[in-house]
Amino acid sequence: DAGITQSPRYKITETGRQVTLMCHQTWSHSYMFWYRQDLGHGLRLIYYSAAADITDKGEVPDGYVVSRSKTENFPLTLESATRSQTSVYFCASRDGGGKTEAFFGQGTRLTVV
Amino acid sequence: QQQVKQSPQSLIVQKGGISIINCAYENTAFDYFPWYQQFPGKGPALLIAIRPDVSEKKEGRFTISFNKSAKQFSLHIMDSQPGDSATYFCAASRDGGYQKVTFGTGTKLQVIP
């Protein structure tokens, strides 16, 4: 199916554990993004990627690591999860060439206990 | 630092009424102002967007009003329907690039029959 998919949809992990959230898009969009959504903060950009092997920090990158070895995948890793990273995480993608609309995945609800 | 301020945080409107959500921005370099709609359990989806060279844009029951001098823009939903119940986010960006987008904190709209 075409689109952007995130996995898992729900995840509970313990403080200090490493956890990876997956994002896959089938459009071959150039840009991919990771946001976190928290009540009272809206959507905040964690990391983004303009193309394979090109990534850059967003507004709240601390504690997160990303990679993009293939255009279609953009995993987000929490190296040592903390309770403050409990959030809903959204992946998004956008085509290049001046097109502005981004398409979001359905989100991953992560709880760190 | 909140560069896009959104109000109200929540809104209850009677079916058939007008829903109004306001946003104000600080950075005069912003040149693209999208509104996103998010239903529970789903990712945000682009609803309507405007650029600062026009003062109003209408798509069906949804209208964006833009006041460049006041650095404010608003979303009006005419003839609000229960199906419009969702969270709405305004956003602003430079150069149409999503790596620079800033989201408002969101407005939860409930349309009651």
pLDDT tens track for A24-56 = 999 989 999 999 999 888 899 999 998 999 999
User: Does B1 have pLDDT greater than 60?
Assistant: no
CA distance A37 to chain B (A): 9
Q: Left (φ > 0), alpha (ψ -120 to 50) or beta: where does A28 sit? A: left
B87 interface with A at CB cutoff 8 Å: no
B103 interface with A at CB cutoff 8 Å: yes
- B105 neighbors B6 (Cβ within 8 angstroms): yes
pLDDT of residue A20: 98
What is the distance between the alpha carbons of residues B34 and B97, in angstroms, rounded to a whole number?
A: 12
User: Does B97 have pLDDT greater than 60?
Assistant: no
As given in the structure block, the two tokens for residue A53 are 């092997």
pLDDT of residue B31: 86
pLDDT of residue B99: 62
Task: Give the largest CA-CA distance in chain A.
Answer: 42
Could you report the per-residue pLDDT of A75-103, keeping only the tens digit for each?
999 999 999 999 999 999 988 766 678 89
pLDDT of residue B2: 58
- B28 neighbors B92 (Cβ within 8 angstroms): no
Burial class for B17, CB neighbours closer than 10 Å (0-12, 13-18, 19+): middle
CA B57 vs CA B5, B21, B47, B48, B98: distances in Å:
21, 15, 12, 8, 21
> Nearest to residue B109, comparing CAs of B73, B71, B59, B62?
B62
- B46 neighbors B111 (Cβ within 8 angstroms): no
Kindly report the average pLDDT of chain B as a whole number.
92
A56 interface with B at CB cutoff 8 Å: yes
Mean pLDDT of B104-109: 95
Q: What is the 8-class DSSP label of residue B84?
A: G
Mean pLDDT of B14-39: 94
Mean pLDDT of B43-67: 94
CA distance B96 to chain A (A): 5
Contact list in A for residue B104 (CB cut-off 8 A) is 42
